[in-house]
Amino acid sequence: MTKDWLESAEAIGAVDAVLAGVGLEHGSRKTRTGAWKDGERVKRAKASVAAASRRKLGAPGVVRVAAFEALPWLRAGFSTRLGGASTAYGDGELNLGWTREDEPEIVAQNRERFMRAVVGKSKVELATVRQFHGGMIRIIEKDHGPLATADGKAVLRGDGSMTDVPGVLLGVQTADCIPVLVADRKRKVVAAFHAGWRGTLARIVERGVGTMQLRYGSKPKDLVAAVGPGIGACCYAVGEEVRFEFESQFAYAPELFTEVYDSDPIRDKYPLLFLTARAPGHSNIGPQIHVDLWEANRRQLLDAGLAAKNVHVVGECTGCAREKNGERRYFSHRMEHGYAGRMMAVAGVVG
Ligand SMILES: [Zn+2]
């Protein structure tokens, strides 16, 4: 496994000033949405659009992978929350999802800015999918129909897509789930996958590589992949049923799970205070079970035949690296209790 990613330091630096002036803590979710009346919402939207056009926005912060940057026909990257026009979750942020808290025109503006940051002047059409935590993969052919509605919403349902058509920029959206991008260096094919625990369990990435072989004749040795920013094993506690499901599917499942014991000093000092009346083995004071979805998806890429040196794990956790060096770097559905924007991972072939 290699960890490499480039970051545009000056892009990040440019938004520092904007972010520094914001006093919003992540507790700001509270009940804001629920409290909005229609009139308030419209007024707020107008104010934020006006503010966005007045403010000089920093460049979107994009996480890039060196192995992708080396391919001249490929454009690919993972967004962060830095350098956008949204004010719904914090000022000057790059929310790329049509969330109910944000304004569609601001999201559209953010998407345009992010795409420009990734593809430059190339003409591209964004192809997102209506994700549902499944294993469905869409192949976008040359004579594809409309990929988005007039207001930018995805038409196709699925959690993965692939194409060799120049000018189609594949996108998957995440706010903790794992985005995985794959490129065929020889045949110039790209693929994008959205892998939460359900998609990972459905082997979306492993099956995706299989689909690339069938449809495009891709050879695993020509493939290069990146496992993007997403929730790490450090922050991802799951229920016992998730471990059970993984154990029934993957021989290597035990390597994906760790038991994390609560190191509460009071509990350690006075264990008797925390005894329950339940039978032994049925106490709810047990370890938390954490799952490593980065590694799970890396293993799927290896099982699909990719060389380890061609699998790049960005290795940044949207949970604990959500705030880093005083900046709010990633959206995290879990850490923000559902009140979160969306990031996007994109990959496309340019002509
Ligand atoms: Zn973490």
CB within 8 Å of 221: residues ≥ 6 apart: 305, 306, 307
CB within 8 Å of 68: residues ≥ 6 apart: 74, 76, 77, 181, 183, 224, 226, 347
Lookup: tokens for 11? 């892009």
What domains sit in the chain, N to C, each tagged with a CATH number?
6-230+311-349 (3.60.140.10)
Centre of ligand 1 to C-alpha 231, Å, is 6
Centre of ligand 1 to C-alpha 179, Å, is 16
Centre of ligand 1 to C-alpha 317, Å, is 5
For residue 327, the model assigns a pLDDT of: 81
For residue 17, the model assigns a pLDDT of: 38
Q: pLDDT tens digits, residue range 283-311? A: 456 789 999 999 999 999 999 999 999 99
What is the rounded end-to-end Cα distance, in angstroms, of the chain?
Answer: 31
Lookup: tokens for 138? 């869409």
Which residues of the chain are modeled with pLDDT < 50? Answer: 1-37, 52, 282-283
Lookup: tokens for 135? 């294993």
Centre of ligand 1 to C-alpha 203, Å, is 23
Centre of ligand 1 to C-alpha 148, Å, is 34
Q: pLDDT tens digits, residue range 75-133? A: 999 999 999 999 999 999 999 999 999 999 999 999 999 999 999 999 999 999 999 99
Angle among Cα 179, 306, 147 to the nearest 5 degrees reads 40
For residue 39, the model assigns a pLDDT of: 52
Q: How far apart, in whole angstroms, are the C-alpha atoms of residue 312 and residue 308? A: 8
For residue 285, the model assigns a pLDDT of: 61
Centre of ligand 1 to C-alpha 156, Å, is 32
Distances (CA, A) of 304 to 33, 135, 210, 255: 43, 16, 7, 18
Centre of ligand 1 to C-alpha 321, Å, is 6
Centre of ligand 1 to C-alpha 255, Å, is 18
